[in-house]
Chains A and B, each alone.
Chain A
Amino acid sequence: MPQRVAIVGIGQTRHTSRRPDVNDGELINEAVSAALADAQLTMKDIETVIIGNMEFFEGHHLNDAMLVDYTGARGKSGFKMNTGGTVGTMNVISGWYNVASGLFDTCLVIGWEKHDEAPTTSCITTITDPAIDRPYAVGALSGLAIISMNYMTRTGCKVEHAAMVRAQASENASRNPNAHVRDRLSVEDILKARMVVYPLNLYFLCPTSVGACATVLASEVKANKITKKPVWIKDHVTVHSDYSGALFTFPGETRETSHMVAGRKLFQRNHITKPIREIQVFEMYDPCAFVQMSWLEDFGICGEGEGWRLVEKGVTAREGEFPVCPSGGVLCTNAIGDSGTLRVAEAALQIRGDAGEHQVTRDVKTALASGYGGSYWTDLLLLSKTLD
Chain B
Amino acid sequence: MQQKTTDELITQEMLLKIPYRWAAGEYVGEFLRELRHSGRIYANKCPKCGRFRCPPAPVCSRCHTRMEEREKWVEVGPRGTLLAFFVAEQSFLVPTTGDMLEIPFSVGVIWPDGAPVALWHKLEETNPDKIKVGMRVEAVFKPEEQRQANIFDILYFKTV
Contact = CB atoms under 8 A, between A and B. Distances in A.
Interface in A122-156: 122-123, 125-126, 130-136, 138-139, 141-142, 145-146, 149-150, 153
Given A131-B22, A131-B32, A195-B89, A248 B84 contact: yes
B85 interface: yes
A256 to B, nearest CB: 9
A244 interface: yes
Nearest to A119: B93
A2 interface: no
Interface residues of B, number: 44
With a 10 A CB-CB cut-off, give which of A119, A146, A149 has the most chain B CB atoms: A146
Interface string A174-212: 000000000000000000001111111000000000000
B150 to A, nearest CB: 7
Contacts of B20: 130
With a 10 A CB-CB cut-off, give which of B16, B62, B83, B105 has the most chain A CB atoms: B83
A130 B133 contact: no
Contacts of B133: 149, 153
A21 B10 CA distance: 8
A146 B109 contact: yes
A253 B150 CA distance: 30
A133 B85 CA distance: 14
Interface string B14-49: 101000101010001000100000000000000000
A111 to B, nearest CB: 23
Contacts of B92: 119, 121-122, 125, 138-139
Contacts of B76: none
A377 to B, nearest CB: 12
A136 B89 contact: no
Contact of A150 (B11, B24, B54, B83): B83
Nearest to A244: B53
With a 10 A CB-CB cut-off, give which of B32, B53, B94 has the most chain A CB atoms: B94
Contacts of A303: none
B116 interface: yes
Contacts of B74: none
A380 to B, nearest CB: 20
B50 to A, nearest CB: 11
A132 B61 contact: no
Contact of A197 (B28, B90, B95): B90
Contacts of B109: 146, 247-248
The range of chain A's interface size is: 35 or more
B102 to A, nearest CB: 12
B107 A196 contact: no
Contacts of B118: 244-245, 248, 250
Contacts of A149: 84-86, 133
Nearest to A118: B16
B5 interface: no
B105 to A, nearest CB: 7
Contacts of A130: 20, 22, 96
A244 to B, nearest CB: 6
A145 B128 CA distance: 13
B101 interface: yes
Contact of A136 (B16, B93, B111, B122): B122
B151 interface: yes
Interface string A91-125: 00000000000000000000000000001011101
Interface string B74-116: 0000000001111111101111100001000101010100001
A121 B96 CA distance: 12
Nearest to B134: A153
B96 A135 contact: yes
A134 B84 CA distance: 18
B116 A138 contact: no
Contacts of A195: 87, 89-90
Contacts of B142: none
Contacts of A153: 84, 133
Contact of A21 (B9, B90, B117): B9
B141 interface: no
A75 interface: no
B86 A142 contact: yes
A242 interface: yes
Contacts of B28: 131-132
Contact of A125 (B84, B95, B150): B95
Considering the complex of A and B, which 4 residue pairs feature the smallest CB-CB distances, nearest first? A145-B86, A242-B61, A198-B87, A121-B92
Given A199-B128, A248-B83, 11 more contacts: A59-B16, A122-B95, A123-B95, A138-B101, A146-B109, A149-B85, A195-B89, A197-B87, A197-B90, A200-B86, A248-B109
27 contacts: A20-B11, A122-B92, A122-B93, A122-B95, A123-B95, A125-B96, A126-B95, A130-B22, A131-B28, A131-B151, A138-B92, A138-B107, A141-B88, A142-B88, A142-B107, A146-B85, A146-B109, A153-B84, A194-B90, A196-B89, A197-B86, A197-B88, A244-B57, A245-B117, A248-B109, A250-B83, A250-B118
